[in-house]
Structure 1
Amino acid sequence: MDNNVLQSIYKYVIEKGDMGICVVDTEGKLLIYNKKMRELEGVNEDEFEERRALEIIDFEIEKSDIYKVLNSETPVLNVKKTYWNKKNQEVTYISNIYPLHYEGILVGAVEFARDITQLEYMMYQPLRRYGAPLTFDIITAVSAVMKDVIEKAKIVALSRMPVVLIGESGTGIDMVAEGIHHDLKVQNDMFIALICRRDEKTVLKQFEKYIVEKERITFFAERIEYLSLEAQEKIVELFNNHPNHQHVLIASVGKDPIDLIQKQELSKKLYRLFSGITIYVPPLRDRKEDIMPFIDDYFKRHRDSFGSSIQGLSDEVRETFLKYDWPGNLKELEVLLDEITSLITNETIVEPHMLPVHFKWKIQSACEEIEKEASTSDLFVIKNQQDIRPLDVYMKEVEEYYISKALDFHQGNISKTAAALGIRRQSLQYRVKNYKLNKKSENID
Structure 2
Amino acid sequence: MEGIRVTVNRTDLLSMYAFLLDQVEEGIHVVDTAGKTVIYNRKMAEMEFMEPQDVLGRSVLDVFTFPEEGYSTLLRALRTGEPKPNVKQTFFNLRGEVITTINSTMPILKDGKIIGALEIAREITKLEQMQKTILRRSETRYTFASLIGESAAIIEVTEDAKRAARTHSSILIVGETGTGKELFAQSIHHASPRSAGPFVSQNCAALPETLIEGILFGTTQGAFSGALDRAGLLEQADGGTILLDELNVLGLSLQAKLLRAIQEKTIRRLGDSVDREIDVRILATISEDPLDAITGGHLRKDLYYRLSVVTLFLPPLRERSGDIPQLTSYFIHKYNELFRMSVLGVSAEVMSFFMSYPWPGNVRELEHTIEGALNLVTDAREIEMSHLPLHMRRRRSGAEGERERAGETALYVEADDKARDLHRQLADYERVYVQRVLAIHAGNISAAARELGVSRQSLQYRLRKWADQRADKE
Query: Normalising by structure 2, what TM-score?
Result: 0.48
Q: Which amino acid in the other structure matches residue 202 of structure 2?
A: L
Residue 381 of structure 2: which of 348, 362, 366 is its match? 348
Q: Equivalents in 1 of 2:285, 2:243: separation in Å?
A: 8
Does 2:242 align with 1:233?
no
Q: Equivalents in 2 of 1:352, 1:285: separation in Å?
A: 20
* SS of residue in 2 equivalent to 1:153: helix
Residue 354 of structure 2: which of 321, 341, 363 is its match? 321
Q: Equivalents in 2 of 1:284, 1:373: separation in Å?
A: 29
Q: If each structure's helix is expressed as a fraction of its own residues, which one has the higher value?
A: 1
Name the residue aligned to 1:274: 307
Alignment of 1:84-163 (within 5 A): 133-163=141-171
Name the residue aligned to 1:167: 175
Worse-matched range after superposition: 283-292 or 132-141: 132-141
Residue 327 of structure 2: which of 286, 294, 305 is its match? 294
* SS of residue in 2 equivalent to 1:197: helix
Structure 1: which 5+ runs fail to align? 1-130, 376-382, 384-400, 409-445
Residue 315 (structure 1) shift? 0.7
Q: Which amino acid in the other structure matches residue 354 of structure 1?
A: H
Name the residue aligned to 2:295: 262
Worse-matched range after superposition: 135-144 or 299-308: 299-308
Q: Equivalents in 1 of 2:293, 2:403: separation in Å?
A: 31
Larger Rg computed on CA atoms: 2
In structure 2, do the counterparts of structure 1 residues 203 and 374 end up closer, same or farther at CA, with 3 Å as the change threshold?
farther
Alignment of 1:276-425 (within 5 A): 276-365=309-398
Does 2:246 align with 1:223?
yes
Q: Across the two proteins, how many residue pairs are aligned to each other?
A: 252
CA RMSD of aligned residues (A): 3.1
Structure 2: which 5+ runs fail to align? 1-138, 218-231, 267-276, 409-415, 417-438, 447-474
Residue 305 (structure 1) shift? 2.9
Q: Any conservation in 2 of the 1:194–1:206 contact (CA below 8 Å)? A: no
Residue 366 (structure 1) shift? 5.6
Q: Any conservation in 2 of the 1:285–1:325 contact (CA below 8 Å)? A: yes
Residue 184 (structure 1) shift? 1.3
Deviations 1:1-50 (A, max 9, x none): xxxxxxxxxxxxxxxxxxxxxxxxxxxxxxxxxxxxxxxxxxxxxxxxxx
Residue 310 (structure 1) shift? 0.9
Q: Equivalents in 2 of 1:369, 1:167: separation in Å?
A: 32
Residue 367 (structure 1) shift? 5.9
Does 2:213 align with 1:204?
yes
Residue 145 (structure 1) shift? 0.7
Q: Equivalents in 1 of 2:363, 2:251: separation in Å?
A: 28
Q: Any conservation in 2 of the 1:142–1:290 contact (CA below 8 Å)? A: yes
Q: Which amino acid in the other structure matches residue 137 of structure 1?
A: A
Worse-matched range after superposition: 341-350 or 274-283: 341-350
Q: Any conservation in 1 of the 2:215–2:233 contact (CA below 8 Å)? A: yes
Q: Any conservation in 2 of the 1:313–1:351 contact (CA below 8 Å)? A: yes
* SS of residue in 2 equivalent to 1:194: strand
Q: Any conservation in 2 of the 1:324–1:363 contact (CA below 8 Å)? A: no
Residue 150 (structure 1) shift? 0.9
Greater RCO structure (CA 8 Å; 6+ sep): 1
Q: Any conservation in 2 of the 1:219–1:250 contact (CA below 8 Å)? A: yes
Q: Equivalents in 1 of 2:247, 2:141: separation in Å?
A: 24
Q: Equivalents in 1 of 2:332, 2:197: separation in Å?
A: 33
Residue 300 (structure 1) shift? 1.6
* SS of residue in 2 equivalent to 1:219: strand
* SS of residue in 1 equivalent to 2:311: strand
Name the residue aligned to 2:424: none
Q: Which amino acid in the other structure matches residue 237 of structure 1?
A: R
Q: Any conservation in 2 of the 1:299–1:312 contact (CA below 8 Å)? A: yes
* SS of residue in 1 equivalent to 2:376: coil
In structure 2, do the counterparts of structure 1 residues 251 and 213 end up closer, same or farther at CA, with 3 Å as the change threshold?
closer
Q: Any conservation in 1 of the 2:195–2:240 contact (CA below 8 Å)? A: no
